[in-house]
Structures are given as structure tokens and as C-alpha cells.
Amino acid sequence: MELTLFEGQWAAGQDISYPFEFTLPNGPMSYHGHYLNVDWYVRATADIPWAIDPKAEQEILLEPGPQFDPMTYIGGGDGGDDVFDKRRANDGIPSKVLLVFSLPFMLVGLGILAFGIFGSDADGRIGLLLFGLVIFLAGFMVCYSALRNTLAAKKLGAIRLAWPEQPIQRGESYPLTLHCNSLKNLNAVNMTLICRETVVSGSGTDRTTYTHEVFSAPIQMKQASDIGERLSMEASIVLPHDAAPSFYADDNELSWIIAVHIDVARWPDWKRELYLNVLPGVVGAERDAAPVVFADDTPALVEPARVEEAQKNNEWW
């Protein structure tokens, strides 16, 4: 946004001011974190012919105002599209891309191992065996990560999650429900509410990704029902009143995530990250939800669930 405040000539000794105003955009909001900063500035420049142009800069703090429309907020980059892409990449369905990517590594690794075992060069066998093993294990781990949830579902049966996929606001309470078709191999269900900064610097071989958890708190799940082999658990999540809104831009993001971890006995665990789309709250809005305090007096952002309405609108079985 640029404004021209004056065009013409100045005379020496003049003391001149130019009042101005402009409408600030709906976002992204100002944010100062560990790795990630989102700053707004007002910058003034005077175009002086045949001389160095004087400049001045003042940082401003952009926050949601009383007329703020949260539904028009864009969290940076493509906003909601970025959240959707994150969800789709972590939807628990086996990734065909990862599977195709892992197969060449596994096949090449097996080939190098075969050369190491049956090759005629005795001096180079150990090196070939180690190199082949590394290549094979790299491909195997990629394949395992792609198929882990599918393998876990063989023991757990169908898993259903009801969580806030729509844009949400800080300070409000939202229901969270998990249904599992089998208890036979289930050790534990753990969920964690996480706010994570991700910043990428450099390019090519110098590209480095930095992550930092701004916030992390366990979600206290309450067992709603236990019918035969079926389990139903529920809770409600409440984001802090000062929670930073979701932000997505090239090489920079601030994500709110519900990390789900189902511990399966003697079998691969079921894991998924549920990406939330957190909008800024309106300044001065009333907040009814209050954080729960656990036995160790640590504030948590969860409270007993009230999901009767959600259960009425969802057919799980």
C-alpha cells in the first residue's frame, strides 16, 4: 500500500507535516516468536532530486479490531488452501508418492547387498554390504511411514475422528471425538495440542528447516462409552485467548496441530496430525471457556467434552 502525500517543491527552513490515514488489511497479524516474526511498518521516503532520499520507518502492531471480520482473514500465502494441503498430506491414507519413492531405494539396496554377498571382490564386500544396507533401510523407513497407519488399522479396525475442520477462533471451545472399533490390541490413546513454528532458510544444499514448539499441552480425553470391542472418547479443546493465528507463507508457517497417537500392542502405532485453521479473535469479545487445571496445577487447554450435538449429527457405526 502506497500513498503520495505531496508533490511539488520545498523551501529551506520549512517545517511541514502531512496528515494521512489508511485502512489496514485483515492480516496477517503481528507476531514475534522464536524463529518466526511477522512485522508491519510504516515507511516514509522523500524524493529529493540530485541527492540521497531521506527515509524514516516506524513499526506498528497489527491486531484484530472491533470491526474485524474473521471470515475474511487470510493467514499468509494462500491461507486456507495451505491448511487444506497440510491436512491432505496427513490424512492417514497411504501415500502413493512415498511408496513409489521408496521402492527404487529398496531394490537398489537389495542389489548392492547381493553384490556384497556373492561378489568376487572379497576386499570390497564389507563396504558394499554396509552401503547396501543403508540404502535399503532408507527406502524401508519411507515405505513404513507410508503404510504405518494401514498396518495399525489391521489391529484396531476402523478409526473415526470428529474434530474442528472449519476455521476456529481462539478462546472458543470445540468438540473432539475419537471412535475405535477394536480394544483388543489398544494400549493407550494420547492427543496433544501443539503450536509449531517452521522456518526454512537457504536454498539447494544449504537449505535448512528450523522448528520450534511455541505451545504444547496434553488433551485430556474422557471415555464416553465402551460397548463390546468399540471405544468412544471425547474432549473439547480451548485455544488460549492470546493464541497466535495460523500463518502460512513461502518457507514460513505457524501451525496449530492436534497430534494423535494410538499405542498398539506389539504392532506399529497409529499416528496423525490434525491441522487446525485458527483465526484471530475479535478484540474485546467475551470468552466463556476457562482452562482446566490438572492435579499438578499445570493449566491445560481442555475441558470435559460437550459433544451431544456432534453425536447427533454424525453416524459413526
pLDDT digits (tens, 9 = 90+) for 181-234: 877 788 889 999 999 999 999 888 889 999 999 999 999 988 876 666 788 889
Torsion of CA 217, 192, 258, 91, to 10 degrees: 160
Q: What percent of the chain is modeled with pLDDT above 70?
A: 80
Tell me, what's the pLDDT at 28? 85
Torsion of CA 113, 117, 122, 126, to 10 degrees: 40
Better-scored residue on pLDDT, 68 or 78: 68
Tell me, what's the pLDDT at 238? 87
CA angle 44, 49, 53 (to 5 degrees): 30
Statement: residue 309 has pLDDT above 50: no
Tell me, what's the pLDDT at 75? 54
Determine the average pLDDT of the residues in 282-293: 42
Better-scored residue on pLDDT, 226 or 13: 13
Report residue 312's pLDDT band, with 50, 70 and 90 as the boundaries. Answer: very low
Better-scored residue on pLDDT, 302 or 209: 209
Statement: residue 279 has pLDDT above 70: yes
Whole-prediction pTM: 0.74
Instruction: List b or e across 91-102, with b for residues whose CB sees 16 or more CB atoms inside 10 angstroms.
Output: ebeebeeeeeeb
Report residue 98's pLDDT band, with 50, 70 and 90 as the boundaries. Answer: confident
> In this predicted structure, which of 6-20, 35-49, 99-113, 289-303 has the lowest mean pLDDT?
289-303
Distances (CA, A) of 72 to 25, 67, 179, 193, 240: 10, 12, 34, 25, 21
Q: Is the dihedral of CA 287, 293, 299, 300 positive or negative?
A: negative
Distances (CA, A) of 114 to 109, 132, 138, 202, 286: 9, 9, 17, 39, 68
Tell me, what's the pLDDT at 228? 66
Report residue 90's pLDDT band, with 50, 70 and 90 as the boundaries. Answer: confident
